[in-house]
Amino acid sequence: MDQGILNLETLWFVLIGVLWTGFFFLEGFDFGVGILLPFIGKKDEDRRVMINTIGPTWDGNEVWLLTAGGAMFAAFPEWYATMFSGFYLALLLILFALIVRGVAFEYRSKNPTSEWRTMWDWAIFIGSFLPALLFGVAFGNLVRGLQIDAAGEYVGGFWALLNPYALVMGITSLVLFTLHGSLFLSLKAKGVVYDRAVSVAKPLSIATTVVLALAMIWSYALSEGGAVPGLLPIVAIALLGAVIWLVRSEMFGWAFALTGVTIATVMAAIFIATYPNVMTSTIDPDYSLTVFNASSSAMTLKIMSVVALIFVPIVLGYQTWSYWVFRKRIGREDVTTAAH
């Protein structure tokens, strides 16, 4: 089998990286809004404004997660099997959090009492906080390497996943998504929610840059030190440095765009640094799962490529249209009018 980069195995490795990047870009600010809900939303009206900024699109954004998982299962079944069995408890927590979060969006308005709505608001916070943290931990372990044996199975246990480097990567994704969410609110909200989102974004942009710099320097130390992986962490840090200036200059549209590019840059650095491995073994490099020994048949990859060529543009077009339709800013008067 061709071990170069011009093959379907590499193509689908890249496409899966794009799908994960799309998920983190879109669902990242949804997580950020949910994390900020108890802190920016001092009143029920404010929390309703925040929820309504992501209400029409959050479930569509999660389609990217389903697509990324499905593509991993179809294109690299060995990768999917090892990752989802080894990360079983962590992924179960993420799934539980996402379910609770989705239920909370639907159920908080079913009862007008403050106790009922407060309970579901905290459910939204937890359902946003845990995935934002644990996804970073998971990808941090992919960079660091895992205890994979000769049978291609993870043998390290749950607590081995909570190593210092992976936790730093988890904290990085947590604060980066929170910053992404605050900037989204600065574009979608008005009134007091806008003011509070802006006040949060200013110190948060500095804190995120510091945490990201630590994570990227550590990542570079773990990698082979190649030119591209070594350059991308520097680019990611520089982008967030620019975000600090843009936030202080109240250029929130550009700041939001650059946090999105930062997410894409970090994901590109992760995937390029690990290639051709999809899961690196710390027991023996020969036990590592690669894009070649973990992939499906060539016929499967060809069929998937045709399907992706047809349907991905349709999904992108629909999501673009939905964001255009729901582009209006939202304030207290909008949710009050809707309630009446």
Residue 279, classed as helix, strand or coil, is strand
**Would you state the pLDDT for residue 111?**
86
Residues composing the chain: 340
User: What would the two tokens of residue 26 be?
Assistant: 């879109």
Q: Are 278 and 76 in contact (CB under 8 A)?
A: yes
**Would you state the pLDDT for residue 17?**
95
Domain coordinates of the chain in residue numbers?
11-339
**Would you state the pLDDT for residue 2?**
46
**Would you state the pLDDT for residue 198?**
94
**Would you state the pLDDT for residue 3?**
61
Q: Are 150 and 144 in contact (CB under 8 A)?
A: no
Nearest to 279 by CA among 297, 293, 265: 293
DSSP 156-220: S-SGGGS-HHHHHHHHHHHHHHHHHHHHHHHHHB-THHHHHHHHHHHHHHHHHHHHHHHHHHHHH
Tens place of pLDDT per residue across the chain (340 aa): 446 667 899 999 999 999 999 999 999 999 999 999 999 988 889 999 999 999 888 888 998 999 999 999 999 999 999 988 888 888 899 999 999 999 999 898 888 888 999 999 999 999 999 999 999 999 999 988 899 998 888 888 888 889 999 999 999 999 999 999 999 999 999 999 999 999 999 999 999 999 999 998 888 777 655 545 678 888 999 999 999 999 999 999 999 999 999 999 999 989 988 888 999 998 988 999 999 999 999 999 999 999 999 988 988 898 899 889 888 888 888 776 555 4
Q: What angle do CA 253, 197, 27 make, to 5 degrees?
A: 65
Is the pTM here over 0.85, yes or no?
yes
Give the separation between CA 168 and CA 163, rounded to whole angstroms.
9
**Would you state the pLDDT for residue 229?**
62
**Would you state the pLDDT for residue 102?**
92
**Would you state the pLDDT for residue 86?**
84
Give the separation between CA 334 and CA 340, rounded to whole angstroms.
10
